Structure 1
Amino acid sequence: MAVVSGLRWSHVGLNCRDQKATEDFYSRWFGFARARVVEADGTRVVFLRRDQVYLELFATDAGPAFDTLADGPRHPGTARHLAFQVDSVDAFLDTAGGELDVTLGPLAFDAFIPGWKTVWVKDPDGVVVEVSQGYSDQEAAELATYA
């Protein structure tokens, strides 16, 4: 069995009917706070963090930047995908040796974070699993610019 070194938990992506209401819920009741906001092509994705636990919030009306099921289902109230961080997406894929069902990517998100790269794969039951490298939180001053 191949095990990738540096593998660690990252986040769960959640589909939200009302992204702000979902953010408020997890902030108020579970102590999460914004760690990053990514906006592209009219789509906003909000990352919440509490200690080492992250939630990634998607509006269910996500626009063209996320108009695919390759990163997970888009039904409100469901998990979109599970996610792990690795030191290198390329090394992860090399270790897999073509045995994974890649649904999307690898894609580079250098416009948001230099070195951020992601690939999505399916597990045997069809659950989408995101594998990323290079994610980091935003600085507080930049986060404050988002409503």
Structure 2
Amino acid sequence: MPDQPAMRWSHVGLNCGDQAATEDFYRTLFGFQRARVADIGGGERIIFLRSGPVYLELFPSAAEPADGPKGDGPQSPGVIRHLAFQTDDLDAFLERIGDSVPVTLGPLRFDEFIPGWRTVWLSDPDGVVVEVSQGYRDQEQVPTD
């Protein structure tokens, strides 16, 4: 296998029954601040919170499909959606793992939010979804509501 690209902890994606209440909880009790808001259509958005090097990604919750989680992880409230890591070279990471790990989604590009932001989601041996991303950075002008 080729050398492993450097990995850094990225974030935990949380499914929220009430995004505003979840954001308030982590802001008030743990000092998180908004780092980015991404409009995902249909009046929904993902809110990125940051405290130092730690990020939380707050998703609106959705009903879980009957056959279990797909794509970027389960969507039921109160359930961790996925674990996430950042790398400087997603292609090198994908080359290194080859076909040895099941890909649940991607790789996808999110250039409409951040030019060069690319992500792939994998399944660990216990079925936990793990995201690996390249190119994420905080928003310069973060909406306050």
CA deviation digits over 1:84-129, x for unaligned, max 9? 0011211110011211100000000000001000000000000000
- Map of 1:98 onto structure 2: 99
Aligned to 2:142: 143
Contact 1:107/1:118 (<8 A) preserved: yes
CA deviation after TM superposition for structure 1 residue 19, in Å: 0.2
Is the CA contact 2:108–2:120 (under 8 Å) kept in the aligned structure 1?
yes
What residue in structure 2 maps to residue 46 of structure 1? 47
Task: Give distance in 1, aligned partners of 2:50 and 2:33.
Answer: 5
Counterpart-to-counterpart distance in 2, 1:108 and 1:137: 17
User: RMSD value over aligned CA atoms?
Assistant: 1.6
Provide the secondary structure at the position in 1 that maps to 2:84.
Answer: strand
| Alpha-carbon distance, 1:69 to partner | 2.5
Counting matched residue pairs gives 139
* 1:8 aligned onto 2:8: yes
CA–CA separation in structure 2 for the residues paired with 1:118 and 1:35? 18
Q: Does the CA-based 8 Å contact 2:45-2:60 persist in structure 1?
A: yes
Q: Which moved more, 1:68-77 or 1:116-125?
A: 68-77
Q: Can you give the 5+ residue segments of structure 2 that lack an aligned partner in the other structure?
A: 64-68
Tell me if structure 1 keeps the 8 A contact 2:11–2:83.
yes
Q: Tell me how far apart the structure 2 counterparts of residues 95 and 85 of structure 1 sit (CA, whole Å).
A: 15
In structure 2, the residue matched to 1:65 is none
**In the TM superposition, what are the counterparts of 1:11-90 in structure 2 within 5 Å?**
11-42=11-42, 43-61=44-62, 69-90=70-91
Measure the CA separation in 2 of the matches of 1:3 and 1:135.
22
Partner of 1:116: 117
Q: Which runs of 5+ in 1 are unaligned?
A: 63-67
Q: Greater helix percent: which structure?
A: 1
Structure 1 stretch displaced more, 72-81 or 34-43: 34-43
Identity %: 62
